[in-house]
Amino acid sequence: MRRLCIHTITTKPWTTEECISRYAAAGVGGITFWRYNLEGRNPAVVGKQAREAGLDIVSLCRGGFFPASSAEGRQKAIDDNRRCIEEAQALGAPLIVLVCGAVPGQSLEESRKQIADGIAAVLPDAEAAGVKLGIEPLHPMYADDRSAVNTMRQANDICDALGSPDMLGIAADVYHIWWDPELQHQIEFTAAQKRLFAFHICDWKTPTTDFLNDRGLMGEGCIPIRQISDWVDATGYKGPREVEIFSHRYWAMDQDEYLGKITESYRQLYV
Amino acid sequence: MRRLCIHTITTKPWTTEECISRYAAAGVGGITFWRYNLEGRNPAVVGKQAREAGLDIVSLCRGGFFPASSAEGRQKAIDDNRRCIEEAQALGAPLIVLVCGAVPGQSLEESRKQIADGIAAVLPDAEAAGVKLGIEPLHPMYADDRSAVNTMRQANDICDALGSPDMLGIAADVYHIWWDPELQHQIEFTAAQKRLFAFHICDWKTPTTDFLNDRGLMGEGCIPIRQISDWVDATGYKGPREVEIFSHRYWAMDQDEYLGKITESYRQLYV
């Protein structure tokens, strides 16, 4: 259970404080905050609350969204990522997850170039703050407007192109990459490059009825989560398994009951 | 306009006979029938009607769906593909498009093995009938229950594994493959292997609101259709460009008006 981490957006109806207290009470080991959790709050205080409750702060979601059709838009994104790095440092989060971004109608090649440029621009800030950046490859169904980085191979290519800096790595989420025929190899390669920074879990339902908010709880869908998780662990990864579920259906239910379902499905998978 | 082919499902509200007469009247060069078009009809008669109207019969959609959890289910699929080959031969369609299939919860590797086995089982029938089989890689968002073949590379791997038979190739649909960073290379490789059998077009809307039936008309979305089409033509491909659009929105409108939009968007793209 110590390796179970939950993303606050999973229980979106809860306040920041409710997430901290309920996760801790349920024996969850870690918490990944989303930036909306910090709105109107002092990140350092939120971080202290979480640590005092016994939770490891795993990461801050999310930076990225670097591509834009204008130089002004790209600069705005860089500025926002710098703020995100400051927030992560104050919070005590060792990692920021990057949803890299894409602009509909702009070529994916150009978006990837802008992503690499954006990351290069903020890397010195991340290094100075001691905050790592994890590129999260997103499922190809998000290539239009959310991310032009859709496979672990592409994420690795960006890390390589930027000289493989220590603070830059990959956040692997089974929802986005489970279908990839290269998956096992890419997990091994990523870990060998010491850049497997995070591992997210949830499930893919059949049918899925919403492009964003119909993810399933582990065990409800077709993703071979345990197999992928075993590949990850076989590389020596000992980090958290982060539950990140966007779901209108689950957000509508009693969140305490839902948290019980999360810990139960995690136990069935791993214990 | 001679290279414009339309899939009958694009104008689903129309009967088989309406599709033939309206496409021909609009100056469309080719038609791809869906199997529902043949229900209660003699395929040979339908084929004769289409040819007499001046339409090239491009392909029959669709065969495939080979994986199943039982041997009985897989045999049923093979039998159905044999019937599909008979229908295509009677119709005078030189090609069947294969949506290969997948079983939720069964590993993609196992499904791909069953797909290869299923194709191998029906290939002799296809060869005897003079009907080609085109594997259509489907977007990774359909990997759960529609196809375990999600990239052109995987489709090529299956062709290679089966000894690269002349009658087996690939149907490339921009909707499924536009995001693939290997796309240009895979198109060139496929054509060099003489197995680029078909080219389908439509567009990817932002946002897309339905996993199946919210495809866009060419120009409505983010797919660089003309660029991909130019890559295809640069290989020496001179075949049809097949418009295949599943859309609740377009099916709800006057189909004559819609056909006008299709030919207009095709002209804007190519003429």
With an 8 Å Cβ cutoff, are A211 and B207 in contact? yes
Q: B-side interface with A, Cβ within 8 Å?
A: 104-105, 107-108, 139-141, 143-145, 150-151, 153-154, 178-181, 204, 206-209, 211, 221-222, 224
Residue range B146-159: average pLDDT?
98
Identity of the residue in B150, B151, B206 whose CB atom sits nearest the CB atom of A104: B206
Residue range B5-32: average pLDDT?
98
Q: Given this model, what pLDDT does residue A209 score?
A: 96
For the cut 90, the answer to whether the pLDDT of residue B167 exceeds it is yes
For the cut 90, the answer to whether the pLDDT of residue B58 exceeds it is yes
Residues on chain B touching A139 (C-beta within 8 angstroms): 140-141
Q: Which chain A residue lies closest to B223 (C-alpha atoms)?
A: A105
Q: How confident is the model at residue B195 (pLDDT cuts 50, 70, 90)?
A: very high
Q: Given this model, what pLDDT does residue B76 score?
A: 98
Helices (H), chain B: 16-25, 43-52, 71-91, 108-129, 152-161, 174-177, 183-192, 225-234, 248-251, 255-270
Identity of the residue in B150, B206, B211 whose CB atom sits nearest the CB atom of A208: B211
Q: Which helix (H) or strand (E) holds B173?
A: strand B168-173
With an 8 Å Cβ cutoff, are B180 and A140 in contact? yes
Instruction: Pick from B100, B108, B215 the residue to mutate for testing the A interface (most A CBs within 10 Å).
Output: B108
Question: Which residues, in sequence order, are bridge partners of residue A241?
Answer: A4
CA distance linking residue A119 with residue A124, whole number of Å: 9
The burial class, CB within 10 Å (0-12 / 13-18 / 19+), for B53 is middle
Q: How confident is the model at residue B11 (pLDDT cuts 50, 70, 90)?
A: very high
Question: Count of H helices and E strands in chain B?
Answer: 10, 8
Cβ atoms of B44 and B91 within 8 Å: the answer is yes
Residues on chain A touching B206 (C-beta within 8 angstroms): 104, 144-145
Distance from CA of A227 to the nearest CA of B (A): 10
With an 8 Å Cβ cutoff, are B151 and A181 in contact? yes
Residue range A28-47: average pLDDT?
98
For the cut 90, the answer to whether the pLDDT of residue B271 exceeds it is no
With an 8 Å Cβ cutoff, are A144 and B181 in contact? no
Identity of the residue in A204, A207, A211 whose CB atom sits nearest the CB atom of B208: A211
Distance from CA of B219 to the nearest CA of A (A): 10
In three-state secondary structure terms, A261 is helix
Q: How confident is the model at residue B114 (pLDDT cuts 50, 70, 90)?
A: very high
% of chain B at pLDDT higher than 70: 100
Cβ atoms of A175 and A200 within 8 Å: the answer is yes
Q: How confident is the model at residue B120 (pLDDT cuts 50, 70, 90)?
A: very high
Residue-wise pLDDT for A125-169, tens only, equals: 999 999 999 999 999 999 999 999 999 999 999 999 999 999 999
- Residue B67: left if φ>0, alpha if ψ -120 to 50, beta else—which one? beta
State the SS3 of A154-165: HHHHHHHHCCCC
- Measured from the Cβ of residue B225, the count of other Cβ atoms closer than 10 Å reads 22
With an 8 Å Cβ cutoff, are A179 and B222 in contact? no
Q: Which chain A residue lies closest to B150 (C-alpha atoms)?
A: A179
Q: Provide the residue type at A127 as one letter.
A: E
Q: Given this model, what pLDDT does residue B7 score?
A: 98
With an 8 Å Cβ cutoff, are A144 and B222 in contact? yes
Identity of the residue in B105, B151, B209 whose CB atom sits nearest the CB atom of A222: B105
With an 8 Å Cβ cutoff, are B108 and A179 in contact? yes
For the cut 90, the answer to whether the pLDDT of residue A114 exceeds it is yes
Average pLDDT along chain B: 98
Please count the residue pairs, one from chain A and one from chain B, whose beta carbons lie less than 8 angstroms apart: 65
Q: What DSSP string describes A162-200?
A: TT--TTEEEEEEHHHHTT-TTHHHHHHHHHHTT-EEEEE
Beta strands in chain A (DSSP E): 4-7, 30-34, 56-64, 95-99, 132-135, 168-173, 196-201, 241-243
Catalogue all structural domains in chain B, each as residue range(s) with its CATH number: 4-270 (3.20.20.150)
Q: Which chain A residue lies closest to B177 (C-alpha atoms)?
A: A140
Residues on chain B touching A178 (C-beta within 8 angstroms): 143
* Terminal alpha carbon distance of chain B: 8
For the cut 90, the answer to whether the pLDDT of residue A271 exceeds it is no
